[in-house]
Structure 1
Amino acid sequence: MSNPGEADQTPITSVRQLADYIAEGCKSPSDFRIGTEHEKFGFRLADLQAPPYAAPDSDATVLALLRLLRDRHDGASIDDAGQMIGLRMPMPTGPTSISLEPAGQLELSGAPLETLHETDAELRTHLEQVHDAATQLQLGYAPLGFHPLARRDDMPWMPKGRYAIMRRYMPKVGGLGLDMMTRTCTVQVNLDYSSERDMARKLRVSLALQPLATALFANSPFTEGRPNGYLSYRAEVWTDTDPHRSGIPRLMLDPGFGFVRYVEWLLDAVPMYFIYRDGRYIDLAGASFRAFMDGRLPQAEGHAATLGDFADHMTTAFTDVRLKKFLEMRGADAGSPAMMLAQSALWVGLLYDDAALAAAESLIAGVTWENLLIARAAVPRQGLEAKLIVTKAELPLRSLVADVVAIARDGLRARAKQAPEGVDETTYLRPLEEIADGAPTQAERWLDRYHNVWGGDVQRIFSETTV
Structure 2
Amino acid sequence: MSTRTASDGEDPRIESRDQLVAPLAAGEKPRESWRIGTEHEKLVFNRHDRHAPSYDEPGGIRDLLLALREFGWEPIEENGTVIAMKGADGTVSLEPAGQLELSGAPLENLHETCAETGRHLQQVKAIGERFGLGFLGLGMWPDKTRAELPIMPKGRYDIMLRHMPRVGNLGLDMMLRTCTIQVNLDYSSEADMAKKFRVGLALQPLATALFANSPFTEGKPNGFLSYRSHIWSDTDPHRTGMLPFVFEDGFGYERYVDYMLDVPMYFVFRDGKYIDAAGQSFRDFLRGELPALPGELPTLSDWNDHLSTAFPEVRLKSFLEMRGADGGPWNQICALPAFWVGLLYDDGALDAAWDVVKHWSMDEREALRNAVPRLALDAPLPGGGVLRDLAGPVLDIASAGLSARNRLNASGDNETGYLAPLQEIARTGVVSAQRLLDLYNGPWGGDLSRVYGEHF
- Same fold by TM-score, threshold 0.5 exceeded? yes
Residue 268 of structure 2: SS of its match in structure 1? Answer: strand
Match of 1:191 in 2: 185
Q: Matches of 1:438 and 1:459 in 2, distance apart? A: 27
Extract unaligned runs of 5+ from structure 2: none
Match of 1:217 in 2: 211
One-letter code aligned to 1:231: L
Match of 2:277 among 262, 284, 287: 284
Deviates more, 1:188-197 or 1:8-17: 8-17
Q: How far does the alpha carbon of each residue in 1:177-212 deviate from its partner, in whole angstroms, 9 at most, with x for none?
A: 000000000000100000000000000001000011
Matched, 1:124 2:118: yes
Q: Matches of 1:258 and 1:335 in 2, distance apart? A: 33
One-letter code aligned to 1:11: R
Match of 1:375 among 363, 368, 371: 368
Matched, 1:322 2:347: no
Residue 448 of structure 2: SS of its match in structure 1? Answer: coil
Match of 2:3 in 1: 3
How far residue 74 of structure 1 moved from its aligned partner, in angstroms, is: 2.1
Match of 1:355 in 2: 348
Q: Matches of 1:199 and 1:3 in 2, distance apart? A: 25
TM-score (normalizing by structure 2): 0.98
How far residue 103 of structure 1 moved from its aligned partner, in angstroms, is: 0.2
| Residues 167, 178 of structure 1: 8 Å contact kept | yes
| Residues 230, 381 of structure 1: 8 Å contact kept | yes
Q: Matches of 1:81 and 1:435 in 2, distance apart? A: 46
How far residue 304 of structure 1 moved from its aligned partner, in angstroms, is: 2.1
Please report the RMSD computed on the Cα atoms of aligned residues, expressed in angstroms: 1.0
Number of residue pairs matched? Answer: 454
Matched, 1:66 2:68: no
How far residue 9 of structure 1 moved from its aligned partner, in angstroms, is: 1.1
Q: How far does the alpha carbon of each residue in 1:146-173 deviate from its partner, in whole angstroms, 9 at most, with x for none?
A: 1001001111000000000001100000
Matched, 1:432 2:422: yes
Matches for 1:252-331 after TM superposition, within 5 Å: 252-267=246-261, 269-331=262-324
Matches for 1:48-447 after TM superposition, within 5 Å: 48-55=50-57, 59-70=58-69, 72-90=70-88, 95-267=89-261, 269-389=262-382, 393-447=383-437
How far residue 301 of structure 1 moved from its aligned partner, in angstroms, is: 2.2
Match of 1:17 in 2: 19
| Residues 39, 105 of structure 1: 8 Å contact kept | yes
One-letter code aligned to 1:263: V
Q: How far does the alpha carbon of each residue in 1:243-292 deviate from its partner, in whole angstroms, 9 at most, with x for none?
A: 0001111111112110011111111x200000100011111000011111
Q: Matches of 2:47 and 2:359 in 1, distance apart? A: 50
| Residues 42, 139 of structure 1: 8 Å contact kept | yes
Q: Matches of 2:309 and 2:412 in 1, distance apart? A: 41
Residue 182 of structure 2: SS of its match in structure 1? Answer: strand
Q: Matches of 2:416 and 2:432 in 1, distance apart? A: 20
Q: Matches of 1:132 and 1:455 in 2, distance apart? A: 31
Residue 68 of structure 1: SS of its match in structure 2? Answer: helix
How far residue 433 of structure 1 moved from its aligned partner, in angstroms, is: 1.1
Residue 60 of structure 1: SS of its match in structure 2? Answer: coil
Q: Matches of 1:368 and 1:99 in 2, distance apart? A: 39
How far residue 302 of structure 1 moved from its aligned partner, in angstroms, is: 4.7
| Residues 6, 271 of structure 2: 8 Å contact kept | no
Of all paired residues, the percent bearing the same amino acid is 52
Q: How far does the alpha carbon of each residue in 1:388-407 deviate from its partner, in whole angstroms, 9 at most, with x for none?
A: 21xxx123111000110000
Deviates more, 1:117-126 or 1:250-259: 250-259
How far residue 99 of structure 1 moved from its aligned partner, in angstroms, is: 0.8
Residue 437 of structure 1: SS of its match in structure 2? Answer: helix
| Residues 32, 191 of structure 1: 8 Å contact kept | yes
Q: Matches of 1:6 and 1:52 in 2, distance apart? A: 25
How far residue 439 of structure 1 moved from its aligned partner, in angstroms, is: 5.0
Match of 2:445 in 1: 455
| Residues 16, 260 of structure 1: 8 Å contact kept | no
| Residues 379, 386 of structure 1: 8 Å contact kept | yes
Deviates more, 1:160-169 or 1:59-68: 59-68
Q: Matches of 2:272 and 2:296 in 1, distance apart? A: 14
How far residue 223 of structure 1 moved from its aligned partner, in angstroms, is: 0.7
Residue 269 of structure 2: SS of its match in structure 1? Answer: strand
How far residue 349 of structure 1 moved from its aligned partner, in angstroms, is: 0.2
One-letter code aligned to 1:447: L
How far residue 16 of structure 1 moved from its aligned partner, in angstroms, is: 2.1
Q: How far does the alpha carbon of each residue in 1:101-133 deviate from its partner, in whole angstroms, 9 at most, with x for none?
A: 000000000000000000010000000000000
